[in-house]
Amino acid sequence: MKIYNWRPFLERWSADWIDSPGAEGREDTAEEIVRARWLGFAPADGERIAALEERLGVELPPSYRSFLAVTDGWRPAGTAVGSLGTVDGVHWYKGAELQESYESALDEESSDDEVVRAGMWGRALQLSVVSDATDLLLDPGDVDADGEWAAYLHRAGSGELPVRYASFLDLMQALFREFHRRDAGPEFVNATTRELDAAVEEARVACLAGDDIDAQLDVFEDAAEHGRPGAGGFRDELTALLDGRPVGGGGGLLPYEPDGPFRRAVDTAREQARWGDTDVAWRTLATALGTWEPYGTERIAPVGLLADPILGPVITPARGRYVLETPRGGGQGRGQGRGEGDGLGGGRWDAAGLVSREIGLTWLADHAEQADDYRFVLVRDVSPEEVAARVGEGPLLPSSDEADVQRRSLGAGGRPVVRVGSAGEGWSFAYGTVLEPFRSGRLDDPGERASRGTEAVTIWVERGDTSAGRPGVFYFSRAEDGERVYGFAVRGDEIEEWGEVPEALDPEELFPGAEVPEESGEYGESEEGPAPVALDVDDEYEALDAITGTFGVALPQLALRRGRLPAVTTGPWIAAR
């Protein structure tokens, strides 16, 4: 509730308190408060305010000064503060011990806010006159352009940091909300609760119509801070979808099973996303959003999608907003979700990330310094299940994210575990991070086994570390019908090449800092071995881009980075000596 001046706000607070159940019988409710319907006192005249400023040696911030002109103090009923802000009661806090304690915890990494807060204790003005271990403080060392001092609510003994507000006005609004939260209940009915509940219902209907989601979120947030039932749940639904983060922390989550026609779309999309076709799954969901029905009046969006172990990662922040801006549950409205591009490709929605537009393999080179080394096999005209059977040793494992894969590998005695899925038109893949260093002469390329009756491409990338003496690696091989046909391996500054590599994949063009040694050993390396040069990320990108163009393949970035895919344990990629 925005406050334009003090009197209406303070009269509202007084009325809400007096009208609350049992207020007249409470020990902390004086008879004159009930009779006058006023929690304040008489105003302080200009002379008394000027005398206070002279006593303190400062000019008061405008919101507190104007407050005193309306009432000389306040009894903030419904909070832990008995009274505050009287002309005769305010004084300098003198919190030297707290200042010393806070300043001793500062270091070179402390933020400006932490430094200001530490110094606040020695210069703050104490406003609370009677309170239950709660201090209300104004900081003359933290002043904004309007002359307002920062205000702090400090609950001594709680172990919590003091809460900062931009001004005394903001602090009083927070105390009013606290009063409403503490008294909230079925019998707590007054003008404020009626206004807030009506606003929540109006916002609920607007959300179902897809209208101005940010404005509705503000309504729910305000009502929740006042303790209104249901408002916090609506707020949480909106923020969860706008954040686009899968909830629940991983395995063991139950599939989302909504009622009605939307259930069919969810089931179809889950099967599509199961193998990495996240864009297709999103299209399926997006076109069916209008058929979603809420559970009574307690839900305003299909937030259960976020908890689904397969579909949760499909809902990015932009897609979550699209869900909210699409009319559903019988709602009728402007519904931006049905705007340009329909959220399903093209127009502004692509730019917003509604369709991820898989960019081949090159995304693997993004943020290379933070990403794991990787290796994968691509197989043409073979289903993901068949790829798992060809490269794996054992049954198909449940859908897994990267953390699950690492745990499963440890549980399998360190044997590699890969995830499988679809990799573009007519291709499937098996993808995993690198657990053992590349050894050219001992490589047991699973692509050769997987290429029976078809073709397969294997890529192995280790970025290396020049300072640690580890050369970078980029291995590429194409196999056909069980035999390696052509490829190359770049290690540090040396190239090993075999077969007739297409011109577009010429390693000397893709990796200009490396070359084929004039004299090489058994495995194509010079006698001295390659220099420990890390893999250049631009070279990695160009090589991945060339492979993408040559074979028309794409790994599903969303599924591999955020999602869960079926997995399988494989044999070692490096043979024992």
pLDDT at residue 333 in the model: 53
Distance (Å, whole) CA 536 – CA 533: 9
Distance (Å, whole) CA 489 – CA 487: 7
pLDDT in tens, 433-474: 887 889 888 899 999 999 999 999 999 999 998 888 889 999
pLDDT at residue 521 in the model: 53
pLDDT at residue 107 in the model: 82
pLDDT at residue 536 in the model: 94
Two tokens at 223? 């009502």
pLDDT at residue 395 in the model: 92
> Residue 126: which H helix or E strand, with range?
strand 125-126
Full-model pTM: 0.82
Q: Could you state, in order of their start, the residue ranges of all structural domains in the chain?
A: 6-183, 195-351, 362-569
Helices (H), 43-153: 46-56, 62-68, 96-104, 112-120
Within 10 Å of residue 357's Cβ, how many Cβ atoms?
11
Query: Position of tokens 């925005």?
Result: 2
Nearest to residue 430, comparing CAs of 396, 406, 453, 462? 396
Distinct helix (H) and strand (E) counts, the chain: 20, 16
Name the residue type at position 203.
A
Task: Say if residues 157 and 122 touch (Cβ distance below 8 Å).
Answer: no
Mean pLDDT of the chain: 88
Which 3 state secondary structure label does DSSP give 464? coil
SS (H, E, C) 234-247: HHHHHHHHHHCCCC
- Long-range contacts of the stretch 463-466 (C-beta < 8 A, 24+): 463/368, 463/369, 463/373, 463/534, 463/535, 463/537, 463/540, 464/492, 464/532, 464/533, 464/534, 464/535, 465/532, 465/534, 466/532, 466/533, 466/534
Distance (Å, whole) CA 280 – CA 272: 7
Q: Which residue ranges in the chain fall short of pLDDT 70? A: 1-4, 22-30, 246-253, 332-358, 368-370, 412, 519-528, 577
> Residue 498: which H helix or E strand, with range?
strand 494-498
What architecture is the 6-183 domain classified under in CATH? 3-Layer(aba) Sandwich (3.40)
Two tokens at 325? 């801006």
